Amino acid sequence: MRKKITIIGSGNVGATTALWAALKELGDIVLFNRTKGLAEGRALDLKEASPLEGFDLEIVGTDRFEDTRDSDVVVITAGLPRQPGMSREELLNKNASIVGDLCAQIAKFSLHAVLIVVTNPVDAMVHVVAKATDFPKNRIVGMAGILDSSRFRTFIALELGVSVEDINALVLGGHGDFMVPLPRHASVSGIPITDLLSDARINALIERTRHGGAEILSLQKVSSAFYAPAAAIEQMVETIVRDKKRVLPCVAYLHGEYGIDGIFMGVPVLLGANGVERVLELKLNAAELEALRKSADAVRKLVARISL
């Protein structure tokens, strides 16, 4: 029996996620949007591509939550997008209200789903979802680290003039200025980037990674990033519906790992059919651990500013 994947929000990120998921035939897809006709149109457009691209599955667009019933995975992308010059934090309370309202319906119709939270600022929205749904925390996971790590990998490959296939890199912490790229854990075919690049160049790549989304927004003016975010979401969906047990950086709830307790935070996790099956603790040095804990403090302050 095919899995059922619901994507809440049919903007660029949601629709592109549906495209990546359809191309890999991850399961039947429901695109939901409250604006009548938008999700239906995008679903029909995608369905009409299926004879050309060879994927065969159900793709439905709807503005009725009833059609999302019994989803295995629900991806939450709905919310206001960033505008040029706007920080993720400026979106906080507007998107908290939108996401909070959606959660009652998600919980009503898909009580056993794994929820992937994408709406920005994602570190705060994961907490909103946890409070509004009361789902087990292992079944609530945020998308950020995969995207940030992909950006870091891309910039390393561009800097060195090598294939992205040979780059491994990891970004932890919050999704924003306090994210924690780990150059000591980044490598090119096993060669540490600290052996290949100067500290100055590595720091420049870290800063570009921290502002990767803003860079795209400043270039496009009318739209923030969506190809790479959607690809990161698709990787999470595939890992869950196919129970691949991959180790990926995701926003997950911490129970004292890294000395951090009681918040959702970007860390390496074992992701599978049950959502976050385990948080992995890296052996961080003192500077890395301090940076991660500062990032945790920033997330706590952000969450404290939510007013619903």
Residue spans in the chain of domains classed CATH 3.40.50.720: 4-142
Catalytic residues: 175
Sorting pLDDT into bands at 50, 70 and 90, what band is 1? Answer: confident
- Is the predicted pLDDT of residue 86 greater than 70, yes or no? no
pLDDT value at residue 84: 67
State residue 80's pLDDT score: 86
CA separation for the pair 75, 6 (Å, rounded): 6
Assess whether pLDDT exceeds 90 at residue 204: yes
CA-to-CA dists, residue 286 to 49, 176, 177, 231, 265, angstroms: 51, 21, 20, 33, 19
pLDDT digits (tens, 9 = 90+) for 44-85: 999 999 999 999 999 999 999 999 999 999 999 999 876 666
Residue 58: partners with Cβ closer than 8 Å, 6 or more residues away: 2, 28, 29
pLDDT at 308 over 80: no
pLDDT at position 296: 97
pLDDT in tens, 123-145: 999 999 999 999 999 999 999 99
* CATH code that applies to domain 4-142: 3.40.50.720
pLDDT tens for 248-292 read 999 999 999 999 999 999 999 999 999 999 999 999 999 999 999
Does domain 145-304 sit in CATH 3.90.110.10?
Answer: yes
Q: What is the pTM of this model?
A: 0.96
Q: Quick one: pLDDT at residue 63?
A: 97
Percent over 90 (pLDDT), the chain: 91
Backbone angles phi, psi at 256, to 5 degrees: 105, -10
For the chain, what is the mean pLDDT? 95
pLDDT digits (tens, 9 = 90+) for 3-22: 999 999 999 999 999 999 99
Q: What is the mean pLDDT of residues 107-125?
A: 96
Domain with CATH 3.90.110.10 in the chain: 145-304
- Residue 91's pLDDT is 79
pLDDT class of 153 with cuts at 50, 70, 90: very high
Residues 6+ apart with CB under 8 A from 88: 82, 120, 121, 122, 175, 176
CA distance 217 to 222: 7
